[in-house]
């Protein structure tokens, strides 16, 4: 169970600011009042708590459970200009059967690709239960007209994407055009149809924790199924502190609305030790309800190999080394 309760200020902060939750998106000024009525982030306290939770150790049986859980939460990702159908099919095969020497190894949650590779991934993953995730909306910069972004989403969904990972317009956000960001997410959500929507903030470009909290609430209010830290294409991606902040946001949002939203840290999570730290953050902040691939994901490409090596060590007592896992 989480050790931190929802903010006591949450239930009253919006009314005190003159903007009840239901009316927060009625106008640009209402949304601004709402966002600036959110409790300010204590940066020192946030980072100290994230660091403290990162020191938690777990026993062998719990570690085995955590490794399998982390594998099942991975969005196995290839987002390179040199991607080919063969590379995507190979990645899909690895997602379905991560360790050919041990068929008890869980499958990953999804394979994440560019929209033009979504049909290839869908064909390779058909019937496996592994989802096809596709980045869209002019990923990673998001610098395109709205009709172009929506066409990008339509193409990905038509090609078989089960999930869409969109990027927000950081320029609009940083210049204070919050309603534009909200309305764009709303429009993308409408184009997703049955596909789940992950909204990427690119936290490394938002500068402050207060901005990350505001972006989280914009995304949740607009109907995001997940909020996601980053594209993996900038210097600062997922960190324990920014992920902790987003976990607090989804926890508080569910307390206020009854709606549960997922969280996806992406970029820079490479080792089993890193993954376990993030799982501790989830358990101690949002709670056990989020310890499920439906509600928490890792955006990663290299993480899986380290998880597999650590899993092999737990089962055999020997550390096999990187030559015993496939190269992505």
Choosing from 131, 228, 252, 306, which is the catalytic residue?
228
Burial of 262 (0-12, 13-18, 19+ CB in 10 A): buried
Q: Which candidate in 264, 274, 277, 306 is catalytic?
A: 264
Catalytic site includes residue 273: no
- Is residue 264 among the annotated active site residues? yes
C-alpha 298, offset from chain centre:
6
Q: Which helix (H) or strand (E) holds 298?
A: strand 298-300
Distance CA 236, CA 61 (A): 33
Residues 254, 2 contacting (CB under 8 angstroms)? no
Which residues make Cβ contacts (< 8 Å) with residue 191, sequence separation at least 6? 150, 153, 154, 157
Sequence-distant (6+) residues with CB within 8 A of 307 are 67, 70, 71, 74, 272, 275
CA distances from 89 to 85, 129, 133, 285 (A): 6, 15, 14, 37
Q: Which of 165, 169, 225, 252 is catalytic?
A: 165
User: Phi first, then psi: what are they for 217, rounded to 5°?
Assistant: -70, -35
Rounded Cα–Cα distance for residues 34 and 313 (Å): 50
Is residue 233 annotated as a catalytic residue, yes or no?
no
Sheet holding 196-200, edge to edge: 262-264, 226-228, 196-200, 163-167, 131-136, 110-113, 74-77, 298-300
State CA 313 to chain mean position distance.
28
Residue 87, judged by CB atoms within 10 A of its CB (0-12, 13-18, 19+), counts as: middle
Reference 185, options 170, 203, 205; nearest CA is 170
Nearest to 244 by CA among 263, 259, 230: 263
Which residues form the catalytic set? Answer: 165, 228, 264
């Amino acid at each position: 169970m989480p050790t931190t309760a929802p903010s006591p200020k949450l239930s009253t902060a919006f009314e005190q600011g003159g903007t009840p939750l239901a009316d927060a998106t009625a106008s640009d000024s209402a949304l601004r009042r709402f966002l600036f009525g959110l409790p300010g982030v204590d940066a020192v306290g946030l980072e100290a708590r994230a660091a403290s939770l990162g020191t938690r150790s777990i026993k062998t049986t719990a570690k085995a459970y955590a490794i399998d859980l982390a594998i099942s939460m991975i969005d196995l990702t290839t987002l390179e200009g040199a991607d080919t159908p063969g590379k995507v099919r190979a990645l899909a095969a690895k997602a379905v059967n991560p360790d050919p020497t041990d068929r008890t190894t869980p499958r990953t949650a999804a394979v994440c690709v560019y929209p033009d590779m979504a049909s290839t991934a869908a064909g390779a993953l058909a019937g496996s239960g592994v989802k096809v995730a596709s980045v869209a909306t002019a990923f990673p910069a998001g610098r395109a007209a709205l009709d172009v972004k929506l066409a990008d989403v339509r193409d990905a969904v038509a090609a078989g994407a089960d999930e869409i990972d969109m990027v927000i317009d950081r320029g609009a956000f940083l210049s204070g055009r919050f309603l534009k960001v909200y309305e764009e997410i709303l429009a993308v959500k409408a184009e997703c149809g049955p596909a789940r929507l992950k909204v990427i903030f690119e936290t490394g470009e938002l500068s402050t924790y207060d901005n990350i909290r505001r972006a989280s609430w914009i995304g949740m209010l607009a109907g995001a199924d997940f909020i996601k830290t980053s594209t993996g294409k900038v210097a600062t991606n997922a960190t324990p502190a920014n992920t902790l902040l987003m976990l607090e946001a989804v926890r508080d949002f569910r307390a206020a609305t009854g709606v549960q939203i997922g969280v996806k840290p992406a970029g820079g999570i490479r080792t089993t030790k890193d993954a376990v730290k993030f799982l501790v953050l989830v358990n101690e902040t949002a709670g056990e309800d989020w310890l499920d691939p439906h509600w928490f994901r890792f955006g990663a490409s290299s993480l899986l190999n380290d998880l597999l090596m650590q899993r092999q060590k737990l089962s055999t007592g020997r550390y096999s080394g990187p030559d015993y896992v496939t190269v992505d």
